[in-house]
Amino acid sequence: MRDAICITGGAGFSGAHLCQHILDNTDWDVVVLDRITYAGSLERLVDVRRDYAERLRFVFHDFRALYPPSVVHALRSCRWIIHNGAETHVERSLHDPETFCQSNVLGTFHTLEMARSLKVEHFIYVSTDEVLGAAPDGVDFDELAQIRPSNPYAASKAGGEALAFAYWKAFGLPVTITRTMNLFGERQHPEKFIPMTIRKLLKAQPLTIHGDSTGRSGARKWLHARNQASALLFLLQNTQPQAATYHIAGEEHTNLEIAELVADEIKTDMAYEITDFKLARPGHDFRYSLDDRKLRSLSWFPPVPFEESLRRTVKWSIQPQNAYWLEDGPEAHPKATNALKAILT
């Protein structure tokens, strides 16, 4: 029997990239655990399933509920767990904070309990830069920075971090915590900034860029999802799980710079306006930034540079056969039903 790893949220954007990366770079089986929300689609795993039919399995479960014995039994072969599944959209968390607490706090508790019952060898909790709140200009937060979330999403992820640390401290569960910045890549949900920007540029629609009252654009560090996957696998294979936290950062660009780079790649003009984020999106922060020197000191570096990652993403997204990923709603995904059948059979 091959070694197996459980990826929660494996049908989501970053989770599917993580599944692909682990299957490409190990001989492990991958067990995807997902409940298929609006942001999850088994269609992301169709190509993965085609290439790795014998090594990819799917287990349906909503981790907001306790893991029933049947699901725990289905995961019994998993030596490792990467808890990647989460609600992640700040704006949605402002309108429905309860769902975020149920998924990201209660769901993490249930997943930790399942991991403890299975006696897994390493549990990675995937968190976010947003737990630390706004970063002043010129400041990159390290792993010891104070947690100061600005919105329910960030607070719920901070709660998950606290639970993961407590399970290491109280029960000896072998835990690692990671914080990642803005991810992008192929098959990302169209509510996110880069696919939304591509869609609007292709339709010659004006962009709304969030900034401040002076007209400055907000800033983030940007990382392709496969680079995050590379870092997670590296930590799993090269570190001892002792509740250490590692930052996986990326390359800093303003939102306006990202939009301009996308427009240059598409070779189109760009119309935009900068709006004051405090008025347009309460609970958002002007700038996020992480210091990732701790991880880089272990000799991990992003395998694909930012510019090449962005270029590949835009090129893939504008190809006619992939353009439906830029649209929202089930009518935009005609292959979804067949994808479900392909994964479950």
129 is catalytic: yes
Each residue's pLDDT tens digit, 49-80 = 999 999 999 999 999 999 999 999 999 999 99
Q: How far apart are CA 33 and CA 216, in angstroms?
A: 41
Give me the pLDDT at residue 33, please.
97
Please name which of 82, 148, 127, 146 lies closest in space to residue 248, comparing C-alpha atoms: 127
Give me the pLDDT at residue 331, please.
47
All structural domains of the chain:
4-344 (3.40.50.720)
Give the CA angle between residues 47, 51, 190 to the nearest 5°.
20
Each residue's pLDDT tens digit, 156-188 = 999 999 999 999 999 999 999 999 999 999 999
Catalytic residue among 29, 34, 130, 252: 130
Chain mean position to CA 11: 11
Each residue's pLDDT tens digit, 16-28 = 999 999 999 999 9
Q: How far apart are CA 175 and CA 191, in angstroms?
A: 31
27 is catalytic: no
Please name which of 295, 287, 294 lies closest in space to residue 252, comparing C-alpha atoms: 287
Average pLDDT, the chain: 92
Q: Is pLDDT above 70 for 337? A: no
**SS3 of 235, please?**
helix
153 is catalytic: yes
Catalytic residue among 129, 143, 252, 292: 129
Record the tokens describing residue 193, joined without a space: 């900034």
Each residue's pLDDT tens digit, 123-150 = 999 999 999 999 999 999 999 999 999 9
Q: Extract the runs of DSSP E, i.e. beta strands, from 169-315.
A: 175-180, 182-184, 207-211, 219-224, 244-248, 251-254, 272-276
Catalytic residue among 43, 87, 143, 153: 153
